[in-house]
Amino acid sequence: MSSNPNLAPSRARITVPQVANRKVRNGTDPLVMVTAYDAPGARIASEAGVDLILVGDSVAMVVLGYDDTLQVTVEDIAHHTAAVARAKPLPLIVADLPWMSYHLSVEDTVRNAAKLIRAGAESVKLEGGRKRLRMIDALADAEIPVMGHLGLTPQSVHAMGGFKVQAKSSESVRALVDDAKALAHAGCFAIVLEGVPSEVAALVTEAVDVPIIGIGAGPDVDGQVLVYHDVLGLEDRVSPKFVRRYADLKATSVAAIGAYADDVRTGAFPAPVESYHLAADVAETLGLYGRAG
Is 154 in contact with 97 (CB distance < 8 Å)? no
Q: Which of 63, 82, 167, 215 binds ligand KIV (CB under 6 A)?
A: 215
Residue of 122, 127, 194, 235 marked catalytic? 194
Listed residue (241, 275, 151, 140) closest to 204, CA to CA? 151
Q: Should residue 91 be labelled a site residue for ligand KIV when binding is judged by CB under 6 A?
A: no
Q: Nearer to ligand KIV by C-beta: 204 or 227?
A: 227
Rounded distance between C-alpha atoms, residue 201 and residue 214, angstroms: 8
Q: How far is the CB of 96 from ligand KIV (least distance, A)?
A: 5
DSSP 77-140: HHHHHHHHHHT--SSEEEEEPPTTSSSS-HHHHHHHHHHHHHTT-SEEE---SGGGHHHHHHHH
Site string for ligand KIV, 92-131 (x = CB under 6 A): ----x-----------------------------------
Stretch that binds ligand KIV, among 49-57, 195-203, 250-258, 265-273 (CB under 6 A): 49-57
Q: Which residue is nearest to ligand KIV, using beta carbons?
A: 56
Rounded distance between C-alpha atoms, residue 77 and residue 104, angstroms: 18
Which residues are CB-neighbours of 45 under 8 A, at least 6 positions away?
A: 34, 36, 53, 89, 91, 228
Listed residue (76, 230, 96) closest to 155, CA to CA? 96
Q: Should residue 216 be labelled a site residue for ligand KIV when binding is judged by CB under 6 A?
A: no
Listed residue (133, 98, 92) closest to 113, CA to CA? 98
Q: How far is the CB of 42 from ligand KIV (least distance, A)?
A: 14
Q: Which of 126, 182, 188, 225 binds ligand KIV (CB under 6 A)?
A: 225
From residue 252, alpha-carbon distances to 89, 249, 255 in Å are: 26, 5, 5
Dihedral of alpha carbons 255, 57, 148, 12, sign: negative
Helices 74-86 and 106-118 pack at an angle, to 10 degrees, of 30
Cα 141 to the chain's mean position, in Å? 25
Q: Should residue 35 be labelled a site residue for ligand KIV when binding is judged by CB under 6 A?
A: yes
Q: How far is the CB of 138 from ligand KIV (least distance, A)?
A: 21
Q: Which of 42, 150, 192, 200 binds ligand KIV (CB under 6 A)?
A: 192
Say whether 107 is catalytic.
Answer: no
Q: Site for ligand KIV (CB under 6 A): how many residues?
A: 11
Q: Should residue 151 be labelled a site residue for ligand KIV when binding is judged by CB under 6 A?
A: no
Stretch that binds ligand KIV, among 11-19, 55-63, 72-80, 243-251 (CB under 6 A): 55-63
Q: Which of 14, 19, 139, 227 binds ligand KIV (CB under 6 A)?
A: 227
Q: Where along the sequence are the contacts to ligand KIV (CB under 6 A)?
A: 35, 54, 56-58, 96, 192, 194, 215, 225, 227
Among all residues, which ones are annotated catalytic? 194
